[in-house]
């Protein structure tokens, strides 16, 4: 097991290096740079910047340096000083921007994940037990519809319903009067009032996959001889299912749990942007749109690291559960 | 400030209509006479000379008395709807986190400011302003006893610091902006005493006063020396500055200086305007809170300190959420970021949600086509430089059809030239080549020798088919560009011209333009204030919309770019005259010459303008202009209604 773990961890390092190079490269692929984006935004508002001034700013920000120099500057600061650089757009250190959004992002991510599991796991088990029943079909249809409807659209529709029928103020995780207020019970209540829309929208969309996996796993197990044996021995049906097929069919689910880690961090970019949530998602989108490379690069790098770490955790969990993996060629 | 023409506004009539004719008569009187104003808020704090919020702080000993906070002669501002009460939080929203527009609108500040009609200046922080005959020396005398928002005195030393150590410093400002250049150098400052400031140019600068009123420029002359000194290596040990810079995560001291100087993101920076940011929008909440400046130096005619409203809250939202917020009456006073295309939704909900949608003017903006006069392809350049060619393109467009299809016939149809509301308006201009006349267009093109091929497509003088590409940014915020240009494509097909549309990302758009790599540019042109942003009308740089090649030639003094022909040189000469005018008359004359030349030559072909700019005001807000002023960047957008005098109705 130890050898397997070390091996896996060693694999992570080159993967991360390649990811960081590629992400930094992709951010710079679109034409122009942060400054031209700014100029375009200013022009849309009737302002203009003198080209000479632009050139001077470009030199100051080091935007004209070759790719490798920029990349090296960026990655060496992160590795040696933990410094993710400065966001052009916000004019603040990237790490501050990310950390102050983390608590709400994680709250939203965890709430959504728990909501998804709370809905999807029982629904999957139930639809397997009652295969081909009306309930099975209903669950599948709802799950697939939630998956198929674009999240941002669902969010907008719910926001519009909130506006049109309940006079609710749209956008953000807090009402205007609580946004900059210190934490209090009332503020927590206000947060819960706003949190349900994104949790519902993102959570429901995630259920379909888990429902189908769970249903298929259960169906595989339900008709195996050991279940029949247990049943023949007179074990009550509920206990039988909980004790044997359910445990086994949870294995594939556990082994993919690690993949949820990055999704907790990035907090569903588009939905969060549409609803103006103060999470890292909108930050990433804004950074990509304005070619704010250090900010975008920083977030993508963190997501990449979390993805790789999540996969590592999944691998280890799987190895812990399944001896075939542990003693395989790895 | 003159207010006679607005003594009774329609809105105040509506609001107080319930009180009957007597109330109307009283309100009429309040605004026009100097008699003791009848007070509708008796016992409701309308006698107070300052906000109760500040009185509390004075009583707690945290703040000096009002008299000590105000200057010797505070600036008096007429209150539009009569006596008002203090307090309240005004809610607003915006789509970009870094946009400081809320401050330039609600807390603008300058040595001078626009008058009510935005056609001349009022002394503002400066009590007196004079200049010499040649527009090279400008003298300001500051009000006595002005204070920054932290209570420190504001003196000429602050201006000297701003100009010598920031604006003239090549590290903080690497290339001088247009409003702060003097030929190849930068203007200088002299401060003979605490209250006098003299700014000198060597070459006449005819636009100086306009820029000093421009809310996005005027505040850049006002930096708090006592606060910023600690971040400037001229005043503080460079090692210390570098250490602080590194600790804050910046690479060089000027970046950190700029960060500390940013009045939108740094709540610690003292300000002079009506409101100060107390929590910034670039934090996690995405919401900025602005609070009244206790040392604000403007008062109403009764000597009551302004502003009336205590706080402003600005939330950063996506456009859709912002529209829904506005339609829900959640935004108290907002024009910027509201699109014409959502006006219908705003109107439908106005009554239910308790707000009114006013129709303000936009900055005379017009969706237009600029042919690239400095096209890299010489054949096309020669063709584009022919007035007959451009006239033919203009004649071929059926603007009535365009207007009826896209804006229900409500749109503004003219050529993009200064309108009647501008100094530079020339009687009788703006309608040349505008009538839809395909025969005339064909005749003009035939006259240029552009014969039609067998497929009906005209050929360029070198025999190639005449196929042009229209570069634009797809947008539905104003006149929907894709729809409008598709119609143009059809109109021009009638006269034998193949037009392809090329919608691009805003960034690529800017790049292609400055690389002189386009045939025709589809752009929205602000027509009235072209002197403050000349890029559409005069090729002054590579960012020109009509001739980047000539612009580059102009900007580089002839060392780069393409040499312009006589007529464009004449346009540039007039621009130099306008900019360097010694008197207003000379400036206006040069500006009109530019307008006339544009009119005669139709360098830009106008399509359609929006009929109005929606502005939302909730029913509990009073003091907002309803005489359809302009919502324009140059006049501080909502700031044109002097927001320090707006207030909430008593609850």
Residue A56: its pLDDT value, please? 67
DSSP string, B407-459: HTT-SB-S-SS--TTSTT--TT-S-TT-S--HHHHHHHHHHTT--B-TTS-BB
What distance in Å separates the CA atoms of residue A31 and residue A25, rounded to the nearest whole number?
12
Task: Report which secondary-structure segment, H or E, holds B83.
Answer: none
Subunit contact A49:B543, Cβ cutoff 8 A = yes
Q: How far is CA B356 from the centre of its chain?
A: 24
Task: Calculate how close chain A gets to B281, using CA atoms only, in Å.
Answer: 9
What tens digit of pLDDT does each residue of A257-301 get? Answer: 777 888 777 667 888 888 878 788 888 888 887 778 888 888 888
Classified by CATH at the fold level, domain A94-326 comes out as MetI-like fold (1.10.3720)
Q: Which are the contacts of B221, defined by CB distance < 8 A and separation ≥ 6?
A: B110, B111, B159, B162, B163, B167, B212
Chain B residues closer than 8 Å to A270 by CB? none
Chain A residues closer than 8 Å to B316 by CB? 276
The β-bridge partners of B365 are: B526
Structure tokens at B493: 């097909």
SS (H, E, C) A55-111: HHHHHHHCCCCCHHHHHHHHHHHHHHHCCCCECCCCCCEHHHHHHHHHHHHHHHHHH
Is pLDDT above 90 for A155?
no
Task: Calculate how close chain A gets to B546, using CA atoms only, in Å.
Answer: 15
| B440 close to B420: Cβ distance less than 8 angstroms | no
Read off the pTM. 0.80
Give the torsion through C-alpha atoms of B175, B179, B184, B186, to 10 deg: -90
What distance in Å separates the CA atoms of residue B132 and residue B382, rounded to the nearest whole number?
45
Q: Which are the contacts of B66, defined by CB distance < 8 A and separation ≥ 6?
A: B49, B50, B54, B58, B305
Structure tokens at B507: 């960034």
**Average pLDDT of chain A?**
81
User: Which among A41, A47, A56 has CB closest to B633?
Assistant: A47
Task: Calculate how close chain B gets to A311, using CA atoms only, in Å.
Answer: 29
Task: Calculate how close chain A gets to B541, using CA atoms only, in Å.
Answer: 7
| B117 close to B642: Cβ distance less than 8 angstroms | no
Nearest chain A residue to B173 by CA: give it. Answer: A53
Residue B454: its pLDDT value, please? 85
Q: Which are the contacts of B253, defined by CB distance < 8 A and separation ≥ 6?
A: B171, B231, B232, B233, B238, B241, B242, B245
- Of B351, B312, B306, nearest to B333 by C-alpha is B312
Subunit contact B328:A48, Cβ cutoff 8 A = no
Residue B124: its pLDDT value, please? 95
Task: Calculate how close chain B gets to A34, using CA atoms only, in Å.
Answer: 9
Looking at residue B182, the DSSP 8-state letter turns out to be B
Chain B residues closer than 8 Å to A180 by CB? 279, 285, 287, 289, 313
Task: Calculate how close chain A gets to B525, using CA atoms only, in Å.
Answer: 8
Nearest chain A residue to B534 by CA: give it. Answer: A48
User: Which among B286, B505, B526 has CB closest to A172?
Assistant: B286
Subunit contact B533:A47, Cβ cutoff 8 A = yes
Total beta-carbon pairs less than 8 A apart between chain A and chain B: 172
Nearest chain B residue to A48 by CA: give it. Answer: B533
Subunit contact B321:A170, Cβ cutoff 8 A = yes
- Of B608, B605, B616, nearest to B638 by C-alpha is B616
Residue B288: its pLDDT value, please? 92
Give SS3 for B150. Answer: coil
Chain B residues closer than 8 Å to A288 by CB? none
Chain A residues closer than 8 Å to B514 by CB? 51
What tens digit of pLDDT does each residue of A40-96 get? Answer: 666 655 556 666 666 766 776 667 778 888 888 888 888 888 888 878 777 778 888
Q: How far is CA B9 from the centre of its chain?
A: 25
Chain B residues closer than 8 Å to A278 by CB? 284-286
What distance in Å separates the CA atoms of residue B493 and residue B399, rounded to the nearest whole number?
15
Nearest chain A residue to B281 by CA: give it. Answer: A90
- For A233-263, b/e burial (b = at least 16 CB within 10 A) is eeeeeeebbeebbbeebbeebebbebebbbb
Judging by beta carbons within 10 Å of its beta carbon (0-12, 13-18, 19+), is residue B408 exposed, middle or buried? exposed
Nearest chain B residue to A276 by CA: give it. Answer: B317
Chain A residues closer than 8 Å to B633 by CB? 45-47
**CA dihedral (B419, B423, B425, B427) positive or negative:** positive
Task: Calculate how close chain A gets to B25, using CA atoms only, in Å.
Answer: 37
Subunit contact B541:A50, Cβ cutoff 8 A = yes
Residue A207: its pLDDT value, please? 85
Subunit contact A291:B507, Cβ cutoff 8 A = yes
Task: Calculate how close chain B gets to A96, using CA atoms only, in Å.
Answer: 9
The series of mean pLDDT values per 10 residues for chain B, 651 residues long, is 40 36 36 42 67 94 94 94 90 86 93 92 95 93 96 96 93 81 90 95 91 91 96 94 87 86 92 94 83 96 94 88 88 91 90 93 88 94 95 96 92 91 90 94 94 89 91 85 94 94 82 89 89 88 90 87 94 92 90 95 94 94 91 90 93 71
Interface residue of A35, A40, A159 to substitute, partner B, most B CBs within 10 Å: A40
What distance in Å separates the CA atoms of residue B94 and residue B425, rounded to the nearest whole number?
33
Subunit contact A51:B543, Cβ cutoff 8 A = yes
User: Which among B89, B254, B507 has CB closest to A31?
Assistant: B507
User: Which among A32, A50, A55 has CB closest to B507?
Assistant: A32
What distance in Å separates the CA atoms of residue B636 and residue A240, rounded to the nearest whole number?
73
Task: Calculate how close chain A gets to B88, using CA atoms only, in Å.
Answer: 12
What tens digit of pLDDT does each residue of B65-78 get? Answer: 999 999 999 999 99
Residue A205: its pLDDT value, please? 81
What distance in Å separates the CA atoms of residue B285 and residue B316, rounded to the nearest whole number?
9
Subunit contact B174:A56, Cβ cutoff 8 A = yes
| A211 close to A127: Cβ distance less than 8 angstroms | yes
Give SS3 for B622. Answer: strand
Chain A residues closer than 8 Å to B279 by CB? 180
User: Which among B176, B259, B285 has CB closest to A91?
Assistant: B259
Structure tokens at B385: 């430089």
Subunit contact A276:B317, Cβ cutoff 8 A = yes
Nearest chain B residue to A289 by CA: give it. Answer: B507
Looking at residue B164, the DSSP 8-state letter turns out to be I
What distance in Å separates the CA atoms of residue B541 and residue A235, rounded to the nearest whole number?
86
Judging by beta carbons within 10 Å of its beta carbon (0-12, 13-18, 19+), is residue A1 exposed, middle or buried? exposed
Chain B residues closer than 8 Å to A83 by CB? 249
| B517 close to B508: Cβ distance less than 8 angstroms | no
Task: Calculate how close chain A gets to B505, using CA atoms only, in Å.
Answer: 9
What distance in Å separates the CA atoms of residue B371 and residue B516, rounded to the nearest whole number?
11
Subunit contact B633:A45, Cβ cutoff 8 A = yes
Task: Report which secondary-structure segment, H or E, holds B317.
Answer: none
User: Which among A30, A92, A167 has CB closest to B507?
Assistant: A30
| B215 close to B588: Cβ distance less than 8 angstroms | no
Subunit contact B289:A45, Cβ cutoff 8 A = no
- Of B132, B90, B161, nearest to B314 by C-alpha is B90
User: Which among A46, A95, A276 has CB closest to B321?
Assistant: A276
User: Which among A60, A95, A180 has CB closest to B287?
Assistant: A180
CA distances from B377 to B381, B464, B480, B547, B582 (A): 6, 12, 30, 13, 40
Q: Where are the beta strands (DSSP E) in B306-445?
A: 311-316, 333-334, 355-360, 365-371
What tens digit of pLDDT does each residue of A106-139 get? Answer: 888 888 889 988 998 899 999 998 888 999 999 8
Task: Calculate how close chain A gets to B470, using CA atoms only, in Å.
Answer: 18
Subunit contact B508:A32, Cβ cutoff 8 A = yes
User: Which among A53, A89, A95 has CB closest to B177?
Assistant: A53
What distance in Å separates the CA atoms of residue B381 and residue B379, rounded to the nearest whole number?
5
Subunit contact A180:B322, Cβ cutoff 8 A = no
Residue B5: its pLDDT value, please? 43
Residue B495: its pLDDT value, please? 94
Nearest chain B residue to A98 by CA: give it. Answer: B284
């Amino acid at each position: 097991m130890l050898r397997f773990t070390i091996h896996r961890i060693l694999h992570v390092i080159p993967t991360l290096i390649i990811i960081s190079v590629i992400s930094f490269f992709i951010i710079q692929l679109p034409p122009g740079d942060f400054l031209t984006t700014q100029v375009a935004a200013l022009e849309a508002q009737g302002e203009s910047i003198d080209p000479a001034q632009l050139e001077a700013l470009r030199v100051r920000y080091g935007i004209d340096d070759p790719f490798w120099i920029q990349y090296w500057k960026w990655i060496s600061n992160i590795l040696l000083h933990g410094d993710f650089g400065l966001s052009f757009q916000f004019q603040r250190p990237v790490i501050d921007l990310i950390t102050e959004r983390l608590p709400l992002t994680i709250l939203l991510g965890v709430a959504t994940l728990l909501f998804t599991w709370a809905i999807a796991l029982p629904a999957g088990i139930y639809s397997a037990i009652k295969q081909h029943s009306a309930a099975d079909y209903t669950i599948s249809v709802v799950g697939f519809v939630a998956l198929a409807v674009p999240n941002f659209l669902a969010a907008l529709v719910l926001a519009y319903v909130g506006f049109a029928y309940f006079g609710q103020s749209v956008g953000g995780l807090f009402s205007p009067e609580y946004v900059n207020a210190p934490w209090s019970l009332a503020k927590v209540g206000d947060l819960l009032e706003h949190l349900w829309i994104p949790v519902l929208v993102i959570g429901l969309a995630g259920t379909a996959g888990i429902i189908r996996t769970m249903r298929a796993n259960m169906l595989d197990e339900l008709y195996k001889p050991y279940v029949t044996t247990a049943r023949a021995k007179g074990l009550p049906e509920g206990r039988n299912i909980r004790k044997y097929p359910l445990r086994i069919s949870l294995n594939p689910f556990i082994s993919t749990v690690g993949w949820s880690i990055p999704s907790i961090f990035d907090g569903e970019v588009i939905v969060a942007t549409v609803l103006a949530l103060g999470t890292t998602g909108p930050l990433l989108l804004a950074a990509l749109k304005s070619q704010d490379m250090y900010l975008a690069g920083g977030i993508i790098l963190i997501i990449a690291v979390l993805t790789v770490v999540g996969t590592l955790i999944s691998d280890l969990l799987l190895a812990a559960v399944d001896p075939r993996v542990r003693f395989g060629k790895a | 400030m003159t207010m006679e023409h607005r003594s009774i506004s329609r809105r105040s009539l509506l609001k107080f209509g319930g009180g009957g004719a007597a109330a109307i008569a009283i309100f009429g009187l309040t605004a026009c006479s100097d008699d003791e104003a009848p007070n509708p808020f008796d016992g409701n704090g309308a006698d107070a000379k300052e906000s109760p919020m500040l009185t509390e702080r004075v009583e707690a000993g945290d703040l000096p008395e009002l008299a000590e906070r105000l200057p010797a002669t505070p600036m008096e501002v007429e209150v539009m709807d009569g006596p008002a009460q203090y307090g309240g939080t005004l809610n607003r929203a915006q789509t970009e986190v870094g946009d400081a527009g809320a401050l330039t609108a609600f807390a603008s500040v300058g040595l001078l400011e626009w008058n009510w009609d935005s056609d001349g200046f009022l002394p503002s922080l400066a009590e007196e302003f004079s200049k010499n005959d040649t527009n090279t020396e400008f003298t300001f005398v500051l009000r006595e006893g002005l204070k920054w928002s932290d209570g420190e005195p504001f003196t000429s030393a602050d201006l000297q610091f701003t100009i010598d150590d920031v604006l003239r410093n090549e590290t903080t400002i690497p290339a001088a902006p247009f409003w702060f250049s003097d030929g190849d150098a930068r203007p200088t400052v002299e401060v003979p005493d605490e209250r006098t400031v003299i700014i000198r140019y060597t070459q006449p600068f005819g636009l100086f006063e306009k820029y000093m009123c421009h809310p996005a420029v005027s505040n850049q002359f006002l930096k708090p020396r006592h606060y910023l000194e600690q971040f400037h290596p001229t005043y503080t040990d460079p090692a210390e500055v570098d250490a602080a810079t590194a600790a804050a995560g910046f690479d060089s001291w000027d970046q950190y200086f700029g960060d500390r100087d940013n009045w939108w993101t740094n709540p610690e920076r003292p300000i002079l305007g009506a409101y100060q940011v107390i929590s910034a929008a670039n934090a996690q909440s995405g919401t900025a809170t602005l609070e009244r400046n206790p040392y604000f130096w403007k008062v109403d005619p009764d000597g009551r300190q302004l502003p009336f409203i205590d706080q402003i809250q600005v939330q950063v939202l996506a456009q859709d959420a912002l529209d829904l917020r506005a339609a829900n009456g959640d935004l108290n006073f907002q024009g910027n970021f509201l699109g014409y295309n959502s006006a219908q939704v705003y109107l439908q909900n106005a009554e239910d949600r308790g707000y009114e949608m006013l129709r303000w003017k936009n900055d005379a903006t017009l969706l237009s086509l600029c042919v690239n006069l400095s096209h890299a392809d010489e054949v096309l350049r020669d063709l584009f430089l022919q007035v007959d060619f451009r006239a033919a393109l203009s004649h071929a467009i059926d603007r009535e059809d365009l207007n009826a299809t896209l804006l229900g016939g409500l749109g503004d149809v003219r050529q993009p030239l200064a309108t009647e509301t501008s100094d530079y308006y020339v009687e009788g201009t703006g309608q040349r080549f505008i009538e839809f006349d395909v025969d005339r267009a064909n005749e003009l093109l035939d006259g240029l020798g552009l014969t039609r091929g067998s497929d009906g497509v005209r050929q360029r003088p070198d025999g190639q088919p005449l196929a042009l590409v229209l570069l634009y940014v797809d947008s539905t915020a104003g006149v929907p560009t894709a729809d409008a240009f598709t119609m143009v494509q059809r109109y021009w097909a009638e006269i034998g011209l193949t037009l392809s549309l090329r919608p691009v990302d805003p960034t690529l758009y800017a790049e292609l333009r400055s690389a002189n790599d386009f045939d025709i540019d589809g752009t929205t042109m602000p027509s009235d204030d072209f002197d403050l942003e000349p890029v559409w009308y005069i090729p002054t740089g590579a960012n020109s919309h009509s001739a980047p090649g000539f612009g580059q030639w102009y900007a580089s003094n002839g060392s780069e770019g393409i040499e312009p022909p006589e007529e464009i040189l004449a346009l540039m000469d007039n621009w130099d005259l306008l900019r360097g005018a010694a008197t207003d008359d000379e400036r206006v004359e040069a500006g009109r010459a530019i307008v006339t030349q544009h009119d005669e030559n139709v360098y830009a072909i106008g399509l359609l303008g929006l009929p109005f700019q929606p502005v939302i005001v909730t029913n509990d807000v009073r003091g907002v202009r309803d005489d359809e002023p302009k919502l324009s960047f140059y006049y501080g957008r909502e700031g044109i209604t002097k927001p320090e005098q707006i207030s909430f109705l008593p609850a």
